[in-house]
Structure 1
Amino acid sequence: MSLKKFNLRDLIADAADLLRQAGIEDSRREARFLAAWALQIDLTALLTRDVMSEDAAKRFQQAVDRRRMREPMALITGRTGFWTLDLAVSPATLVPRGDSETLIEALLEARPERQSRLRILDLGTGTGCLLLAALAEYPNAFGVGVDLSADAAVLASRNAAGNGLRERSAFLCGHWADALQGRFDVVLSNPPYIETDVISSLMPEVRIFEPASALDGGTDGLDAYRLLIGALGRLLTDDGLAIFELGQGQDEDVARLALDMELRVRGVRKDLGGIGRALLIERTAGPAVEFK
């Protein structure tokens, strides 16, 4: 793409048209967001600008070209928001999504005492978004995040520092909880849960640009849950709580895995779209209870 004009309104209009042709919904909004990013201003300040410098226009052009190829916006800008956090992102991890905030909402409702000295474990931590969001809400808690990717563990550690949470967190490279000793009050995880044969049909932003290891849940999408639930007996304290993110329609299958291990299913919390997104499991055996 060649953007020869430097009139900001024209640049945004041209970019929006190119993004629309690439199949991107709300292309005008995305073009404005990228223009603001290129200018290093917010969207409100964009309203007061009429022109873009040559350097900013080049930066804008490159960003639009990347977005036309369906690269996620967060990977282009290198950052995204999650809960109350500002996080760096990279191709080593999934881009945090708003649906995952359902796990934090569920945790806050299930453990309302914010001053609790919780020990929190986040398995498959990625950017560290779940663990860091939990630590931000529980100022006396300490957490450990584990990821198979060394690059992801380094990124999560950097995000902890950037959000003032370095002293209360540690990030390790490992295969789930294989190398861990001790028990935790809370275990969080957003594991890979997409069926292997579905991955090829995902939107390009996910299929092409996000790590397959963080997506592929095996033939039925449940491989990671089998491993995680099998480890809860040794990972959770007596009154410990695990919260797992779910894919659409997986709540009953994953709940059954927990019940088969004689764990107690506290319930499922739905996301804003009405999908059962967060499954709550307790170490104490017993009947499932209703949870919104």
Structure 2
Amino acid sequence: MKGTTLAELLHLARRRLSDAGIEGAAFDARLLVEDITGTTRSEAITDPDRLIDADMLTAVDAALSRRISGEPVHRILGYREFHGLRFSLSAETLEPRPDTETLVDAMVPLLAEIGERKGTCSILDLGTGTGAIALALLAAVPRASALGVDISEDALDTAARNARGLGLSERFKALRSNWFEGISGQFDAIVSNPPYIRSAEIETLQKEVRNFDPLRALDGGADGLDAYRTIARESARHLETGGFVAVEIGSSQKAEVTDIFLGAGFLMKTALRDLTGNDRVLMFTGGGKA
């Protein structure tokens, strides 16, 4: 590929992914080429004859091979955008996905109001992973602080690194805990995107998810509801009066998760759908305290 231009490289990358049956081949090819060559979409139009050096061609070739093997494009890049922010990924973190922005968007005005009224507001993010939910909330609500907990040291290191990169370290703390085991105190909001896939369904997931997302961030137990039972059972004693619990759910779990929280004494505040129209976020108040 000596003497290959930017335009030729983009064409070859698209064709290689497309021939391998990769869905969204053109988009993935563009992301990989732009990231590795340091070019932009506009430069592909204004400077298509730019020559790409041999090291970059080798790197693009390796990245395309990884994508063809099933590795998701954002895992290859090492980061993903979420709520307008860039989050580094690691082996034991889920990729933050657009569906989860529904939870952030729902919580921002509520937390802002609490912050205005109290002068501050506190967030507990259970299973924080990359820190995406907590850090997106902190970026949008300057008076908020957050504790992100996870059982994985790798995830906690990644979340802390993301907090530093976004300039939010002073308001974010990462703590190793198996759900509430290491938690003390109360919070204005408890948020979580917990594992909610049924154990028996893990093997039916796309290979991009099954082979590259961390299993314990996916597996919700036999019925996919184990984490919700824990959150519903333990949240009340860690929730400030007037606080909220917000959880992401699988698209078919609204009724079951609602029943779990109502059975624990919570009140339903709202249920939200994502941009594709699927049930995605449930928000509750109280646990006998609201």
For Structure 1 versus Structure 2, the TM-score category normalised by the shorter chain is over 0.9
Find the aligned partners of 1:250 and 1:275 in 2 and give their Cα distance: 10
Look up the match of 1:61.
61
Q: How far off its partner does 1:5 sit? A: 6.1
CA deviation string 1:196-255 (max 9, x = no partner):
111111111100001000000011110110111111111111111010000111111101
Find the aligned partners of 1:199 and 1:21 in 2 and give their Cα distance: 27
Mark the runs of 5 or more structure 2 residues left unpaired by the alignment: none
Q: How far off its partner does 1:145 sit? A: 0.2
Q: How far off its partner does 1:286 sit? A: 10
Look up the match of 1:37.
35
Look up the match of 1:77.
77
Find the aligned partners of 1:139 and 1:109 in 2 and give their Cα distance: 12
Residue type of the alignment partner of 2:250 = G
Matches within 5 A, 1:176-195: 176-195=179-198
1:206 alignment partner, SS class: helix
1:198 equivalenced with 2:201 (yes/no)? yes
Matches within 5 A, 1:98-117: 98-113=98-113, 115=116, 116-117=119-120
CA deviation string 1:43-69 (max 9, x = no partner):
222322322111111111111111111
1:167 alignment partner, SS class: helix
Look up the match of 1:10.
8
Out of 130, 137, 140, which is 2:140 matched to?
137
CA deviation string 1:11-55 (max 9, x = no partner):
322222221233222212221221111111222223223221111
When the two chains are superposed, the root-mean-square deviation of aligned CA atoms in Å is 1.7
Percent identity over paired residues = 38
The runs of 4+ residues in structure 1 deviating greater than 4 Å are: 284-287
Look up the match of 1:153.
156
Look up the match of 1:25.
23
Q: Give the total of aligned pairs.
A: 285
With normalisation by structure 1, the TM-score equals 0.93
Structure 1 residues 148 and 142: CA distance shift in structure 2, 3 A? same
Find the aligned partners of 1:146 and 1:231 in 2 and give their Cα distance: 14
Residue type of the alignment partner of 1:10 = E
CA deviation string 1:72-101 (max 9, x = no partner):
111111111111211111121001100000
Find the aligned partners of 1:5 and 1:271 in 2 and give their Cα distance: 46
CA deviation string 1:161-214 (max 9, x = no partner):
000100001001110111111100001100000111111111111000010000
Out of 262, 280, 283, which is 2:283 matched to?
280
Verify the 8 A CA contact 1:124 1:146 in the aligned structure 2.
yes
Find the aligned partners of 1:4 and 1:194 in 2 and give their Cα distance: 47
Residue type of the alignment partner of 1:91 = A
Mark the runs of 5 or more structure 1 residues left unpaired by the alignment: 288-292
CA deviation string 1:134-180 (max 9, x = no partner):
11111111110001100100100000000010000100111011111
Look up the match of 1:263.
266
With normalisation by structure 2, the TM-score equals 0.94
Verify the 8 A CA contact 1:239 1:284 in the aligned structure 2.
no
